């Protein structure tokens, strides 16, 4: 797969060259895997589009957590797996950033969900899991923002670290154009347990958007990006308009300093003020809080 030029200024703690390469490969793979629906019948602008993060932006909580919970109910995973994953995700969200070790753990856990399974099997399960656990967790306010772009004849893509197969399901159910997600290697219709490049995260999201824009003839200066997390600053900084939705503390501060619009659809004064990670609430309602607390006590006596 041909490499894509890496552009844009980096934040402190920039990725190493090898991480940059994986981000570029992941972005190119995600863009190549993106299914593109026909341009809307009401076409106002073919060069403008919108890009939405999923977790805590379009959906309450982490889509991969709900996917894992659905797989557990189908005996793909154990309750111990879910408790461990919930704690990893909660720590990730509370910290607001990730170390290389954290991302490696999340990546390996995600791959364990599907390794050796047929793609069609996981897609069928994903359709069911969306209906059971995700449909009611879509933020209506964010969904309305996406619809405004569609009504203007603009295309709308989800951009997420969740597997591209699940991302496509969410996009199609919401009537969006398509999705950019993490691409897993597939051989003879089965997942190998390896990723193509890296998780669709951070710089990889920006690379995916850049690659898709080049393929689809989009003018990024006329596009809009939405996210809740400072981890998505590479993507948010890439487009002409950036909007912080349910922002974490760091993104809220950056948005204010840069004059970006902030939209908060959460309830409760505390959540509105500091951006409480909704994945923690997901872990509680998921019935795994006991295991998660026990795990925390063992780690932090």
Q: What digits encode the pLDDT tens for the residues 70-88?
A: 988 888 877 776 676 666 6
What's the pLDDT score for residue 220? 98
C-beta separation of 188 from 207 below 8 A = no
User: Model confidence over 214-250: pLDDT tens digits?
Assistant: 999 999 999 999 999 999 999 999 999 999 999 999 9
What's the pLDDT score for residue 45? 84
Is 53 among the residues known to form the active site? yes
How many percent of the chain have pLDDT more than 70?
Answer: 69
Banded model confidence at residue 207, pLDDT cuts 50, 70, 90: very high
Catalytic residue among 53, 228, 232, 248: 53
What's the pLDDT score for residue 239? 98
Q: For residue 268, is pLDDT > 80?
A: no
What's the pLDDT score for residue 236? 98
Q: How far apart are CA 229 and CA 140, in angstroms?
A: 19
Q: For residue 149, is pLDDT > 70?
A: yes
What's the pLDDT score for residue 293? 28
What's the pLDDT score for residue 109? 66
Q: For residue 21, is pLDDT > 60?
A: yes
Is 228 among the residues known to form the active site? no
**272 against 14, higher pLDDT:** 14
Q: For residue 6, is pLDDT > 70?
A: no
Q: For residue 288, is pLDDT > 60?
A: no
What's the pLDDT score for residue 272? 39
What's the pLDDT score for residue 89? 61
The pLDDT mean for the chain works out to: 79
Distances (CA, A) of 50 to 53, 143, 159, 198, 241: 10, 12, 10, 23, 9
Q: For residue 39, is pLDDT > 70?
A: no
Banded model confidence at residue 265, pLDDT cuts 50, 70, 90: very high
Mean pLDDT within 119-129 = 95
**197 against 147, higher pLDDT:** 147
Catalytic residue among 55, 228, 232, 248: 55
Q: For residue 101, is pLDDT > 60?
A: no
What's the pLDDT score for residue 93? 54
What's the pLDDT score for residue 33? 73
Q: Closest Cα to residue 204, out of 164, 170, 244? A: 164
Mean pLDDT within 154-161 = 96
Q: For residue 212, is pLDDT > 90?
A: yes
Q: How far apart are CA 135 and CA 129, in angstroms?
A: 9
């Amino acid at each position: 797969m041909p490499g894509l030029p890496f552009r844009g200024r980096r934040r402190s703690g920039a990725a190493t060259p090898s991480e940059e390469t994986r981000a570029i490969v992941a972005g190119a793979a995600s863009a190549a895997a993106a299914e593109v629906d026909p341009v809307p019948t009401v076409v106002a602008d073919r060069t403008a589009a919108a890009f939405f993060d999923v977790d805590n932006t379009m959906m309450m909580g982490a889509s991969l957590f709900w996917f894992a919970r659905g797989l557990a109910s189908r005996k793909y995973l154990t309750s111990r797996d879910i408790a461990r994953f919930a704690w990893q995700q909660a720590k990730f969200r509370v910290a607001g950033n990730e170390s290389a070790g954290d991302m490696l753990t999340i990546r390996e856990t995600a791959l364990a969900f599907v390794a050796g399974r047929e793609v069609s099997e996981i897609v069928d399960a994903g359709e069911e899991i969306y209906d059971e656990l995700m449909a009611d967790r879509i933020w209506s306010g964010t969904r309305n923002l996406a619809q405004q772009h569609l009504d203007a004849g603009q295309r709308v893509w989800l951009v997420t670290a969740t597997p591209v197969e699940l991302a496509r399901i969410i996009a199609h159910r919401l009537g969006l154009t398509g999705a950019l997600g993490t691409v897993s290697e597939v051989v003879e219709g089965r997942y190998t347990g390896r990723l193509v490049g890296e998780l669709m995260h951070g710089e990889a999201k920006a690379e995916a958007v850049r690659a898709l824009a080049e393929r689809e003839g989009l003018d990024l200066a006329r596009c809009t990006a939405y996210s809740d997390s400072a981890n998505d600053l590479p993507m948010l900084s890439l487009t002409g308009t950036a909007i912080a939705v349910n922002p974490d503390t760091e993104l809220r501060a950056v948005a204010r300093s840069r004059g970006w619009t902030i939209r908060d659809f959460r309830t409760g004064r505390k959540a509105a003020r500091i951006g409480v990670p909704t994945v923690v609430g997901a872990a509680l309602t998921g019935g795994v809080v006991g295991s998660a607390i026990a795990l925390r006590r063992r780690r932090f006596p």
